[in-house]
Amino acid sequence: MIKIENLTKSFGSLEVLKGVNLTIDKGQVVTIIGPSGSGKSTLLRCINLLEQPTGGSIFFKGQDIVHDVVKIEDVRKNACMVFQHFNLFSNMTVMGNMTYAPMVVNKLSRQAAEAKAVELLKRVGLLEKKDVYPSRLSGGQKQRVAIARALAMEPEVLLLDEPTSALDPEMVKEVLDVIKALADTGITMVLVTHEMGFARDVSDVVHFMDEGCLVESGNPRDFFTKPQTERARKFLSTII
Amino acid sequence: MLDFAVLKPYMPLLLSSVWITLKFTFFSTILGFLGGFVLALITLSKKYVYVKLAEIYISIFRGTPLLVQLMLIYFATPQLTSFTINALQAGVLAFGLNSAAYISEALRGGILSVDKGQWEGAMSLGVPKHKMLLDIILPQAIKNALPSLVNESIMLLKDSSLVSVIGVADTLRWADLIQAKTFRAFEAFIVAATVYYILVMALNAFGRYLERRVRVSD
């Protein structure tokens, strides 16, 4: 569904992505891991054009979103992102957060948007919070709302950028549980994470990045037990 | 020695003068907010020429006295355009253009202080830029800038007394007129001062009320 070819991205003289090739199939749960500064988040942000790539192509359902003339909003509404710092709209209640984009972008009626929001909030276990503002939620609750908000757009692919990195340890599990349940529904998902145990459990494919390059890819069982490259071995030995 | 009773016949006139002060402040504030909003957006856009023009505008209106701007607009407009502008129109125009410069700075600060994540959150859901600006960024920007915006309205209300110079029949003009007729300067001006004070306090209370309202999301 998504095919990334020779993707490069530079910030000034700093080369963050140095020619990444990657394919994501429909229904796949893909995790990207690697040390800090390896370009994982930048790669993810290129997929929905929050960063404009410097070179290369990204084919989203056959269309090159880097070079073809596309409406940037049409790409983003189909590749919604969940952020490390949640980014819930702080001037809106949970319900407002859930219904805003579906109504404005997908032109849903208020009734339809609210019905969908109620269903999704039930799924992440936060229906009773629907009328409170984000400032009243814990970090874990905010992230669960953020995930539900992204799902309300019914995107083709869900992008998660270190969704548990800003959370207190006791809240990590509640968010991971939600993501795990999602993965089992057959949604296409690209996840950047530092939770190795979780990456092993949940993903179909693991990609390991280092210094702007995709170093190794494989199924999680093989990757975590017998990594093929020296760099991956080194990385795994430092974190496990 | 003091005799406020002599003012009694002029009370109906005072009411209509206060009404003019209020009306004048209201329209200047509206114009100031609209202009300030547009200017703030221009200075935050990345179009070099427009940004420079807006900066020059702001610098001129902040760098010259309001009274001079008022006189220029009132007396020079007929000379340049053959359009006879009345005193009230000239006043609203001068005050609106002037406060737009100040309000744009307050709003710009408010917009810049909105967390970058709010933009990205909206962008990542495919929300078009003008919608996110209007529905997500601006409400938070106004909330951040509210104390200085209320302050700006208070300044406008007080400075509105300047229009008496070009003959608008506002509250100060009333006092001036009454003291000429009755030779009671103290009584007339103290009444005018009291009226302004009450109006400013009311505006202040309204500002506090707004601040409490927008803080429900904290």
Averaged pLDDT, B42-63: 92
Q: Are A232 and A226 in contact (CB under 8 A)?
A: no
Averaged pLDDT, A203-224: 92
Instruction: Give the rounded distance of the alpha carbon of B130 from its chain centre.
Output: 26
CB contact under 8 A, B117 and A85: yes
CB contact under 8 A, A83 and B124: yes
**Do both A188 and A71 map to the same domain?**
yes
**Do both A142 and A161 map to the same domain?**
no
Q: Which of B125, B139, B216 sits opposite A77 (nearest CB)?
A: B125
A56 within a domain of the structure (yes/no): yes
DSSP per position, B114-167: S-HHHHHHHHTTT--HHHHIIIIIHHHHHHHHHHHHHHHHHHHHHHGGGGGGGT
**Do both A142 and A110 map to the same domain?**
yes
User: Which three-class secondary structure state does DSSP give residue A7?
Assistant: strand
A83 within a domain of the structure (yes/no): no
Instruction: Say what the pLDDT of residue B10 is.
Output: 85
Number of domains in chain A: 2
**Do both A33 and A64 map to the same domain?**
yes
Confirm or reject contact between A153 and chain B (CB < 8 A): yes
Residue where the block lists tokens 């020429």: B49
Distance in Å, alpha carbon of A136 to nearest chain B alpha carbon: 8
- Does residue B195 surpass a pLDDT of 80? yes
**Do both A72 and A98 map to the same domain?**
no
**Do both A11 and A73 map to the same domain?**
yes
Query: Which of A135, A133, A137, A113 is CA-nearest to residue A125?
Result: A137
Confirm or reject contact between A76 and chain B (CB < 8 A): yes
**Do both A62 and A161 map to the same domain?**
yes
Residues near A23 by Cβ (< 8 Å), separated by ≥ 6?
A: A2, A3, A4
Fold of B4-217: MetI-like fold (1.10.3720)
**Do both A161 and A232 map to the same domain?**
yes
A125 within a domain of the structure (yes/no): yes
pLDDT, tens digit, 9 for 90 and up, residues A175-193: 999 999 998 888 999 999 9
Distance in Å, alpha carbon of A65 to nearest chain B alpha carbon: 14
**Do both A66 and A96 map to the same domain?**
no
- Does residue A240 surpass a pLDDT of 70? no
A16 within a domain of the structure (yes/no): yes
- Does residue B106 surpass a pLDDT of 70? yes
Q: How many residues does chain B have?
A: 218
A82 — pLDDT class (breaks 50, 70, 90): very high
Q: Give the span between the Cα atoms of B36 and A43, in whole angstroms.
A: 39
A213 — pLDDT class (breaks 50, 70, 90): very high
**Chain A residue whose CA is closest to B143:** A91
pLDDT, tens digit, 9 for 90 and up, residues A1-16: 899 999 999 999 999 9
Confirm or reject contact between B136 and chain A (CB < 8 A): yes
Residues near B95 by Cβ (< 8 Å), separated by ≥ 6?
A: B24, B28, B31, B32, B66, B70, B156, B159, B160, B163
- Does residue A146 surpass a pLDDT of 80? yes
A195 within a domain of the structure (yes/no): yes
- Enclosing domain of residue A114: 88-154
- Does residue B78 surpass a pLDDT of 70? yes
CB contact under 8 A, A76 and B140: no
- Does residue A110 surpass a pLDDT of 80? yes
Best mutation site among B111, B125, B142 for testing chain A: the one with the most A CBs within 10 Å? B125
CB contact under 8 A, A150 and B125: yes
**Do both A35 and A141 map to the same domain?**
no
Give the CATH number for residue A182.
3.40.50.300
CB contact under 8 A, A73 and B124: no
Averaged pLDDT, A42-70: 91
pLDDT, tens digit, 9 for 90 and up, residues B112-154: 999 999 999 999 999 999 999 999 999 999 999 999 999 999 9
Instruction: Say what the pLDDT of residue B9 is.
Output: 85
**Do both A93 and A15 map to the same domain?**
no
Distance in Å, alpha carbon of B128 to nearest chain A alpha carbon: 7
Instruction: Say what the pLDDT of residue B159 is.
Output: 92
Instruction: Give the rounded distance of the alpha carbon of A171 from its chain centre.
Output: 18
B52 — pLDDT class (breaks 50, 70, 90): very high
**Do both A161 and A137 map to the same domain?**
no
Query: Which of A2, A1, A3, A26 is CA-nearest to residue A187?
Result: A26
Q: Give the span between the Cα atoms of B7 and A63, in whole angstroms.
A: 80
Averaged pLDDT, B158-169: 90
Q: What residues in A contact B133, CB-CB < 8 Å?
A: none
Instruction: Give the rounded distance of the alpha carbon of B36 from its chain centre.
Output: 10
pLDDT, tens digit, 9 for 90 and up, residues B21-38: 999 999 999 999 999 999
- Does residue B208 surpass a pLDDT of 90? yes
Q: What residues in A contact B121, CB-CB < 8 Å?
A: 83, 86-89, 146
Query: Which of A80, A79, A76, A52 is CA-nearest to residue A66?
Result: A52
Query: Which of B98, B110, B101 is CA-nearest to residue B146?
Result: B110
Percent of chain A at pLDDT > 90 equals 82
Instruction: Say what the pLDDT of residue B169 is.
Output: 87
Instruction: Say what the pLDDT of residue A70 is.
Output: 81
- Does residue A239 surpass a pLDDT of 80? no
Percent of chain B at pLDDT > 70 equals 100
